[in-house]
Structure 1
Amino acid sequence: MDILFKQVRLKDGEELKDVAIKGGKIEAIEKELKVEAARVIEGNGKVLIPGLVESHIHLDKALIADRLPNKSGTLQEALKVTAQLKPTFSKEDIVDRAERTLQMLIKNGTTHIRTHSEFDPSQGFTGFETVMELKEKYKGIVDVQVVAFPQEGILKAPGTEKMMYEAMDMGADVVGGIPYNDTPWDKHIDLVFEIAKKYDKPIDFHQDFKDGPEGMTIEYVCEKTIKEGYQGRVSVGHLTALGALPKDRLQPIIEKMAEAQISVMSLPATDLHLGGRHDEYNVRRALTPIRALRDGGVNMCIATNNIRNAFTPYGTGDVMLTAMLAIPAGHLGGADDLPTVLPMITTNPAKAMQVSGYGIEVGNNADVVLLDTESVTNAVIDMPAKLFVVKSGKVTVETKKSTEFLF
């Protein structure tokens, strides 16, 4: 074997297991394996999980918070200052920031990423081309899906529609959209589906990013998804407006989303920071209703969105920290809720991204992380060190630490 994990915990309440890896795949999982391996890692009861999945991030505009701060903390100013900065981004600048961000994610146990890479006539394809190059450079270390993302809209930014097709021809993995930042929104959504069908690619919308329910388009997205036979191939990020709906209006939408098999990426670091800025009292959390969506059969994910820019002026590249933030903000700390959080940064986003061969089962890809905790249920709230990260059967990260009590 290439790697043998000895006595790791895969599930709470079950006996410890040995996990053997060979040729980039999980070769065997048994109570005890009598095999030789090039690398033996003593688990000592620590938790082994599938690689973390960062399902919604923007690599090309990370780490720019100090250049033109968003002083009001509003979405409107975040959009404004970022639009001002984008034409100043050189290729060298984007490479530096995106690569540093990638390394932050990898260090923290991420093995799969979906990044939204934007372009428009004012900045061209500089950021998009750079991210595509980094995708290739880091192949075998982290799997990257690139979304062709029209941040400034498509129809209201002449020339962007042509660029969408060009981005797909250049190898984009996903068709992106942002209905709330374009007009008419229905034509925007229709065009995104038209492009996706032409290239047979999945769709990922920035969706209904508002504090209130006015102007929501998620119902149209559901109807379009079903009509076009795109069930299970559409994801939406933010969807904060849904949190402002009373139950009698919310429930039918959730049922329609479940029917359309639409996945939702909640982005608590950004949404908590930007949301509710105009509320003078009883300030809203401004999150999508995570528990209601989950309980309604919607594939619920948690992701980071941005790291240290006008939309989110903090972040370390650790999606587990983002999940920890979602626990109190989304009322996910109850005894029945807590076990559902880890899947929101592992198996659920892997399903949303249609990642094949994911999970700790014989025959699957050997993308795993050994955590410094002995409880699967508490894996997020323990905020454990990622002792070993294995991608495609190779150790990519090893964390060494030493702590002494001096009393």
Structure 2
Amino acid sequence: MSNLIIRRAHIKDGEALKDIKISGGKITEIATDIQNDNNSKEIDAKGNVVLPSLIESHIHPDKAFLEDRKPNKSGTLEEALKNTAELKKLYTFEDVKKRAEKVLRWSILNGTTIMRAQPDVDPYEKTLGVEVLVHLKEKFKDVLDMQIVAFPQEGIIQSPGVLEMMEETIKMGADIVGGCPYSEKTMEDTKKQLEVVFDLAEKYNLPIDMHADFGTNADDPQNTCIELICDMTIARGYQGRVAIGHVTTLGSLDPEVAAPIFDKIAKAGVTIVPLPVTDMFMTGRTERKNIPRGMAPVMAMMEHGVNIAYSSNNIRNAFTPFGNADLIAVGYLLQVSQQMGSADQRRAVLDMVTYNAAKALGISDTYGLEVGKNADLNIYDCDDISNLINDQPLIRYVIKRGEIIVQNDLTRTMASVLMED
């Protein structure tokens, strides 16, 4: 590993610029005017923002780029599941690999070098998605750290053999036990699935990552499982080891009803992962007016101490016909939809896709812009962290364990000349 010094880095709004020294893939010093005593390569950040790597905490590379094959004309979850199930029957290793690899490459180019991927494990795809991502995890290991979730999209109780396939994928290399409680036919089976998921996670001492409460009807018990999950988390001693994507139904609760639930989520140490593009595209389809945003209430949960980490979820398929694996763009949508307009709130949105996501993935001990942490860093062409998402800036450098893996040269265009004072 080479040695590197980043000069004149903006690492915190309102503070002086700093130099960052990197050796052996780790940050070894952060100070002003660091001496280059070992002939290290140097980058002049020129006052630009330096952040730790973005983290994609919930994404489905195996299902990416399927929209053109079978569009979701109604935009509903029901049609998305139906269309995708039909397409999964036709999957081959090379097909899934080609589409998933494209997502990984786009992610890296957009400054994401840490990812939690969620391939389906079900009667249609079987274990193929996990097999492909285990292969890609090894192929991209020098530029991308990947965790793999065994995700039972079609349920466990209603889909005989899926539990056995999930256990098989853990032996292949899946790192996380997934769950999808709303996929079962009855509330009784939903409860059974939750027990099975926790049992499997305990057996292999693995974290849990679920899709849950994906709707707007707070009277539907299968889409109001968050309290049950939190109770199980506490009872099983799994605090800090459970993440849940979607949880949009929470946005339909009255504040006085929701507040104690938020407190319970915080007590259980459960991370909530809103998926803004999918959540707002798919929910509220039956409403005729005042259509809800269909999002978990981010700011209210933050006020109660809940860890929030947003993500992309899907890229151009029946669930989400948008996206380019750009988490800064997704953050723009989140801050607008959640009315997070102040400078502190906009910085909090960036925390969701960096430090909060690291906590969700259980990597806080190695992640961050601090001495001793992995040198996984991005340099952006902007000089204000609070406006980074607003600016949607070009990434000048993506650095993985101290090595430059992406470099974009800035050119002085006529447009930039015209905008100068």
Question: TM-score normalized by structure 1?
Answer: 0.98
Match for residue 195 of structure 1 among 200, 212, 215: 200
Amino acid at match of 1:15: A
- Aligned position for 2:401: 392
CA contact (8 A) 1:4 1:18 kept: yes
Match for residue 125 of structure 1 among 117, 127, 151: 127
| Segment of structure 1 superposing worse, 18-27 or 394-403 | 394-403
- Aligned position for 1:248: 256
Output the aligned Cα RMSD: 1.1
In 2: Cα distance, 1:146 partner to 1:279 partner: 36
CA contact (8 A) 2:396 2:410 kept: no
State the 1:403 CA deviation: 3.5
Does residue 363 in structure 1 map to residue 365 in structure 2? Answer: no
CA contact (8 A) 1:112 1:143 kept: yes
- Report how many aligned residue pairs link the two structures: 407
State the 1:124 CA deviation: 2.2
In 1: Cα distance, 2:344 partner to 2:33 partner: 32
CA contact (8 A) 2:344 2:386 kept: no
- Aligned position for 1:13: 14
CA contact (8 A) 1:390 1:397 kept: yes
Does residue 313 in structure 1 map to residue 318 in structure 2? Answer: no
- Aligned position for 1:139: 141
1:191-340 mapped onto 2 (5 Å cutoff) = 191-213=196-218, 214-215=220-221, 216-340=224-348
State the 1:123 CA deviation: 2.7
In 2: Cα distance, 1:392 partner to 1:234 partner: 27
In 2: Cα distance, 1:121 partner to 1:71 partner: 24
- Aligned position for 1:28: 29
Q: Secondary structure at the match of 2:251?
A: helix
In 1: Cα distance, 2:346 partner to 2:39 partner: 36
State the 1:380 CA deviation: 1.3
CA deviations 1:63-120 (Å, max 9, x no partner) are: 1110000001111111111111111111111111000110000000001100101122
Does residue 158 in structure 1 map to residue 163 in structure 2? Answer: no
CA deviations 1:140-169 (Å, max 9, x no partner) are: 201000000110000101111111111112
- Aligned position for 2:49: 47
In 2: Cα distance, 1:142 partner to 1:273 partner: 29
Does residue 376 in structure 1 map to residue 389 in structure 2? Answer: no
State the 1:334 CA deviation: 2.7
Q: Secondary structure at the match of 1:300?
A: coil
Q: More helix by proportion, 1 or 2? A: 2
In 1: Cα distance, 2:93 partner to 2:412 partner: 41
Amino acid at match of 1:369: N
State the 1:297 CA deviation: 0.2
1:57-96 mapped onto 2 (5 Å cutoff) = 57-96=59-98
1:111-122 mapped onto 2 (5 Å cutoff) = 111-122=113-124
State the 1:37 CA deviation: 4.0
In 1: Cα distance, 2:23 partner to 2:231 partner: 45
Amino acid at match of 2:5: L
| Segment of structure 1 superposing worse, 316-325 or 332-341 | 332-341
| Segment of structure 1 superposing worse, 35-44 or 309-318 | 35-44
Q: 1:37 to 1:27 in 2, by over 3 A?
A: farther
Q: Unpaired runs of 5+ in structure 1? A: none
State the 1:38 CA deviation: 3.7
Amino acid at match of 1:200: N
Amino acid at match of 1:7: R
Amino acid at match of 1:203: I
In 1: Cα distance, 2:125 partner to 2:285 partner: 30
In 2: Cα distance, 1:126 partner to 1:224 partner: 30
CA contact (8 A) 2:85 2:124 kept: no
CA contact (8 A) 1:177 1:205 kept: yes
In 1: Cα distance, 2:62 partner to 2:165 partner: 17
Does residue 351 in structure 1 map to residue 359 in structure 2? Answer: yes
CA contact (8 A) 1:4 1:37 kept: no
CA deviations 1:168-210 (Å, max 9, x no partner) are: 1212110000000114101000000000001000000101001
CA contact (8 A) 2:343 2:387 kept: no
In 2: Cα distance, 1:68 partner to 1:191 partner: 33
| Segment of structure 1 superposing worse, 154-163 or 118-127 | 118-127
In 2: Cα distance, 1:220 partner to 1:27 partner: 44
In 1: Cα distance, 2:119 partner to 2:349 partner: 27
